[in-house]
Amino acid sequence: MSASIFGDRFIGKREQAWHNLGKVFTQAMTATEAIKEADITFAVNKEQLFLADGMAVPGKFALTRPAVKGAAKAIFGIVGKEYQSIQATQLAKFLDPLTEKMPVETAGALGEGETIFLCLDGGKHSIKGEEILQYFLVTDYRGGGETLKILYTPVRVVCQNTLIMGLADATVRVDLHHDKNIERDAQFYITLMEQLGKRRQQGMQLMEQLAETKLTDSQAKAVIEAAFPKPKVGNRLARIQGFQASDFKGNQAMWKTLDADRTTRETHRIIRECCL
């Protein structure tokens, strides 16, 4: 799959992406500055649809992008009257306060500009030699039928491929529908995810502590016993101990059910004993 970058509307911090499109930047910038640098500030408009004879199509609207440098006006999709767009400039405004602690990593537009993304550096940790990266990603498809997505992902988004990977590997994700509350909800969840990011940092510190903690055999056994407690034998299962399939010749369906219960319990016992 190609990079699908809209023209060269992409910026990346420190190094250019594999597709060699867009610009590289090194200085810190706000989200608002980033979308200007990436040239993705163009609006998405909702326009009434008309028939060839000039009659308006009730409840149907086109999502359009005006003509921009290197591209004529485009239609992104058809939506109903309840659909409400959110502009890239508004999303950037919500993200600006976060960029003081989570610097802009990448920004860009895909396709004909219907998809935009802003990727912030959520920090990295090393736990026992394993590096864990986190990026705070906001991406919006403005063609109808898709949601605004806010998430944490270990993938640095630079193109269509990495966007797909980033969405698939998201550790935390919120999807917002394009309705009358889209701006309010976007601001709320961006702020909420910022707070969650702080908690994740604390969680990483705890994981570092756990990685350095050594358990004694008795402590390890206690943890395993808590995770895999000895299962209780239910009344139904207790009553069939010693019975065989031949004892249920007249009701094989009942035997299959009871035998499945016994098999599940036995599997649990084997796992527990192997761990201990």
Residue pLDDT, tens place only, 209-253 = 666 777 788 887 887 778 777 666 555 555 556 566 666 666 667
212 within domain boundaries = no
Alpha-carbon distances of 89 from 33, 34, 85, 116, rounded to whole Å:
10, 10, 12, 11
Note the pLDDT of residue 1: 42
* Residue that is last in its domain, among 161, 184, 207: 207
Helix (H) or strand (E) holding 123, with range, is: strand 115-127
Cα separation, 174 vs 160, whole angstroms = 20
Alpha-carbon distances of 142 from 54, 145, 177, 204, rounded to whole Å:
26, 9, 11, 35
Model confidence pLDDT, tens digit, residues 76-96: 999 999 999 999 999 999 999
10 within domain boundaries = yes
Q: How do the pLDDT tens digits run along the chain, 276 residues long? A: 457 999 989 999 877 666 678 899 999 999 999 999 999 999 999 999 999 999 999 999 999 999 999 999 999 999 999 999 999 999 999 999 999 889 999 999 999 999 999 999 988 776 666 677 889 999 999 999 899 999 999 899 999 999 999 999 888 899 999 999 999 999 999 988 877 766 666 555 655 666 677 778 888 788 777 877 766 655 555 555 656 666 666 666 766 666 666 666 555 554 444 444
User: Into how many domains does the chain fold?
Assistant: 2
Ramachandran angles phi, psi of 138, nearest 5°: -120, 125
Residues 127 and 242 in one domain: no
Alpha-carbon distances of 63 from 85, 107, 140, rounded to whole Å:
9, 22, 13
Residues 85 and 51 in one domain: yes
Residue 103 tokens, joined: 């610097």
* Residue that is last in its domain, among 207, 225, 258: 207
229 within domain boundaries = yes
Note the pLDDT of residue 272: 47
Please state the pTM of the whole predicted model: 0.71
